[in-house]
Amino acid sequence: MKTLFKPLFLLFLTISNMKSFSQKMVEYYEPVKNDSIRIGKLDSDFLKYIEKGYTLAKPEDGKNISGVIVFLEDSGFENKNTSAKQIYSQANKAGFAVLSVSTEIPLDFFFSDSSIIDAHKTIKNAFEKNYLPNKNVFLIGVGLSGHRTLKYVEYIKKNQPKFSLNISGLIICDAPLDWVRQYNEGKRDRRINFEEGAVWEGTFSNYVLENNLNGTPKSNLESYLDFSTYSYSDETDRHIQYFQEFPIRAYIEIAIEYWLEKKRKTTIDNNAPDMVGLIAQMKLAENENAELKIIYPQDSKTEKKNTAATWISVDKDELMEWIKKQSE
């Protein structure tokens, strides 16, 4: 089997057209499995597996790396490493490497520990093979990868593996965390049947939730609360203990009018309540370094509004200054 999965190892230099410094790029991916996974009831409802591995962007000299930023993002959607690429220049200029890690599962919800373990092994491999310093490590998650980020941190805190990242901070951008709320949002989108994209997303997400969590929130609430990294419905706030020690930022974009006009969504039919709720609970847990960062309409950089658009509008220079302040 190992001969079939020889990693592709590419090493090349790229010169930023925005900054006057070089980056060294390393890619390490296994060949894609010739198979697919079901995401719905129709004959066409399948997604092909994607590349498992990582992309690493580090300062050219590579000798004095002061920290590492880690993204858990899919390798096969919206172009590889779309979120990470947006902070390459700021991070590398500040002496930080940027690592993007992908499992083989497309749109991976981290339903199973096996996916999280795969991601962890890839991170460990990237750190060891590239001699990355295990200090000043920051995890950034955009959209669904924000959920993955917190699931990963929770897994590490619970299981205490021999190799463990020395995490200095968490950045979560417009991420679905409350899968009770998310399920009900998808259910409503399907019912009103107003916008095709919202209907598809609701159909897909509710199908995989029902199949992996053994029912609906109504029939199996505990399963949904266990899977959520934050939930308004969770009276015990069972997950906050795993994150409360870390400096954390959560980003949302105020786009109520857009969601109302384009998709007929209400104020709870988006990820903002999850972001606000997470930070509220962190503050209740006496985390003095928990921040909610709001992007207002006048600061938005895109006409279209979604999780990717929110990340585009984040001030990466200011974010890097925050990251440096949390570093040793």
**Residues of the chain with pLDDT > 90: what percent?**
81
pLDDT of residue 305: 87
Q: Identify the pLDDT of residue 328.
A: 78
pLDDT band at 174 (very low <50, low <70, confident <90, very high): very high
Supply the pLDDT for residue 77. Answer: 65
Give me the mean pLDDT over the 240-260 stretch. 95
Buried b (16+ CB within 10 A) or exposed e, 140-177: bbbbbbbbbbbbbbbbbeeeeeeeebebbbbbbbbbbb
- Domain chopping of the chain, boundaries: 2-177+237-326
Whole-number pLDDT of residue 252: 96
Which pTM was predicted? 0.91
pLDDT at 16 over 90: no
In DSSP notation, 246-297 reads S-EEEEEE--HHHHHHHH---TTSSSHHHHHHHHHHHHHTT-TTEEEEEE-G
The average pLDDT across 234-257 equals 96
Confidence at residue 7, expressed as pLDDT on a 0 to 100 scale: 42
Q: What is the pLDDT of residue 145?
A: 96
**Stretch 315-325: mean pLDDT:** 97
- Residue 6: its pLDDT value, please? 38
pLDDT at 303: 85
What's the confidence (pLDDT) of residue 284? 96
The pLDDT, as a whole number, for residue 22 is 66
How is domain 2-177+237-326 classified at the architecture level of CATH? 3-Layer(aba) Sandwich (3.40)
CA pair distance 125, 54, nearest whole angstrom: 9
User: Would you state the pLDDT for residue 9?
Assistant: 39
Q: What pLDDT sits at residue 168? A: 98
Is a pLDDT exceeding 80 seen at residue 5?
no
- Quick one: pLDDT band at residue 96, thresholds 50, 70, 90? very high
Q: How far is 50 from 210, CA to CA, in rounded Å?
A: 23
pLDDT for 36 equals 93
CA distance 129 to 274: 36
Q: State the pLDDT at residue 67.
A: 97
Percent of the chain with pLDDT over 70: 92
Of 89-93, 253-257, 305-309, which gets the smallest average pLDDT? 305-309
* Secondary structure element (H or E) that encloses residue 24, with its range: strand 22-29
Tell me how far apart the alpha carbons of residues 328 and 314 are, in angstroms, rounded to a whole number: 24
pLDDT at position 61, please? 75
pLDDT band at residue 163, thresholds of 50, 70 and 90? very high
pLDDT-derived band at 80 (thresholds 50, 70, 90) equals: confident
Reply yes or no on whether the pLDDT at 162 is more than 90: yes
Average pLDDT value for the chain: 91
Give the residue with greater pLDDT, 302 vs 136.
Answer: 136
Most confident of 20-24, 203-207, 295-299: 203-207
User: Is the confidence at residue 274, as pLDDT, over 50?
Assistant: yes
Amino acid identity, residue 316?
Answer: K
